[in-house]
Amino acid sequence: MPILELKDVTQEFGGLRALNAVNLTVEEKQIFGIIGPNGAGKTTLFNIITGIYVPTQGELLFKNEIINKTPPYTVARMGIARTFQNIRLFNKLSVLDNVKVGSHGVTRAGVFGNMLGLPASRREEKELTEKAQLLLHLVGLYEKRWEYADSLAYGEQRRLEIARALALNPTLLLLDEPAAGMNSSEKVDLMELIHKIRDDKNLTILLVEHDMNLVMNICEQIAVLEYGKKIAEGPPEIVKNNKKVIRSYLGVEA
């Protein structure tokens, strides 16, 4: 069953057509890659899915529900979590608190519960701490849980964004260039991590990435965008050998 469907989605910014009638179907538990040159519209696609932009035209379905005009916080609560290409952490909060905030959409305690320290609020807080610590172990940042988020190295910040996104218990995870700025050993760890979370947490993962090695290795299905248009789609083997893709994106080396 498809978890996410885009039907003829178009996004215009003034005169610029950042996405042009894009169709996309992502199946449950898939690791789906989106590639394409700079400015192709990959991040715009993520911003549409997460409700930051309302598409100019077309239809957006998550678990068969139309989410065209659903605001970002509601999209998050429905189970779509994301990371950002230009890292957006809560810099002056601790690493642990960053992950805890990630759970906001799936927790309930209110202002009075928090202020009065009511039992339900305390219980939730305790569970939250445990869950956040587990996630930090998973991404290898447990030792740094008391640091400010902005004191982490670049690659660590990217992993913290993943932990924060996972705290939402998502069913669909969008990763925008998760390997950018990572060295090759970090990239290997990242690939392992992505496989692991997909299997352990029953996730569907949509991934934008420029590192072809990583994309071809972990994605089961790949869509190629160019100037806002989808020019190819298929499993890595097929996409890798597609003439249009080679010409426009992969270059002579492929």
Partner 1 sequence: MDSFLAQYIDPYYLRILVLIGINLILALGLNIITGVTGQLSMGHAGFMSIGAYTSAILSMQFGYPYFLSLLAGALMAALFGFLIGIPTLRLEGDYLAMVTIGFAEIIKVFFLNFEPGGKAVGLSGIPQNTTFVIVWVIVLIVIILNARLLRTRMGRAFYAIRENEIAAESCGINTTRLKVLAFTIGSFLGGLGGGLYAHYMYFIRPQDFAFMKSIELLNMVVLGGMGSIPGTILGTTILTLAPEMLRVVAEYRLLFYGALLVILMIFRPNGLLGDIRIYDIKKRFRKKEVETCRS
Ligand X SMILES: Nc1ncnc2c1ncn2[C@@H]1O[C@H](COP(=O)(O)OP(=O)(O)OP(=O)(O)O)[C@@H](O)[C@H]1O
Residue 86 as a binder of ligand X (CB under 6 A): the answer is no
Site string for partner 1, 90-109 (x = CB under 8 A): xxxxx--x--xxxxxxxx-x
| CB 177 within 8 Å of CB 201 | no
DSSP readout, the chain? -EEEEEEEEEEEETTEEEEEEEEEEEETT-EEEEE-STTSSHHHHHHHHTTSS--SEEEEEETTEE-TT--HHHHHHHTEEE--SS----TTSBHHHHHHHHTGGG----HHHHHHT-HHHHHHHHHHHHHHHHHHHHTT-GGGTTSBGGGS-HHHHHHHHHHHHHTT--SEEEEESTTTT--HHHHHHHHHHHHHHHHHHT-EEEEE-S-HHHHHHH-SEEEEEETTEEEEEE-HHHHHT-HHHIIIII-TT-
Residue 30 as a binder of Mg ion (CB under 5 A): the answer is no
Q: Which of 69, 88, 137, 196 touches partner 1 (CB under 8 A)?
A: 88
Residue placing its CB nearer to ligand X in the complex, 16 or 153 = 16
Which residues 1-40 are close enough to bind ligand X by CB under 6 A?
13, 16, 18, 36, 38-40
Q: Which of 72, 140, 234, 236 touches partner 1 (CB under 8 A)?
A: 72
Residue placing its CB nearer to partner 1 in the complex, 146 or 253 = 146
Query: Closest separation between CB of residue 100 and partner 1, Å?
Result: 6
Which residues 38-67 are close enough to bind ligand X by CB under 6 A?
38-44
Residue placing its CB nearer to ligand X in the complex, 131 or 249 = 249
Residue 131 binds: one of partner 1, Mg ion, ligand X, none (C-beta under 5 to 8 A by kind): none
d(CA 45, CA 39): 11
| CB 61 within 8 Å of CB 67 | yes
Residue 13 binds: one of ligand X, partner 1, Mg ion, none (C-beta under 5 to 8 A by kind): ligand X
| Options 8-16, 43-51, 63-71, 149-157: segment touching Mg ion (CB under 5 A) | 43-51
Residue placing its CB nearer to partner 1 in the complex, 61 or 101 = 101
Residue ranges in contact with partner 1 by CB under 8 A: 50, 52, 71-73, 76-77, 81-82, 84, 88-94, 97, 100-107, 109-111, 114-117, 121, 124-125, 128, 146, 164-165, 167-168
Residue ranges in contact with ligand X by CB under 6 A: 13, 16, 18, 36, 38-44, 85
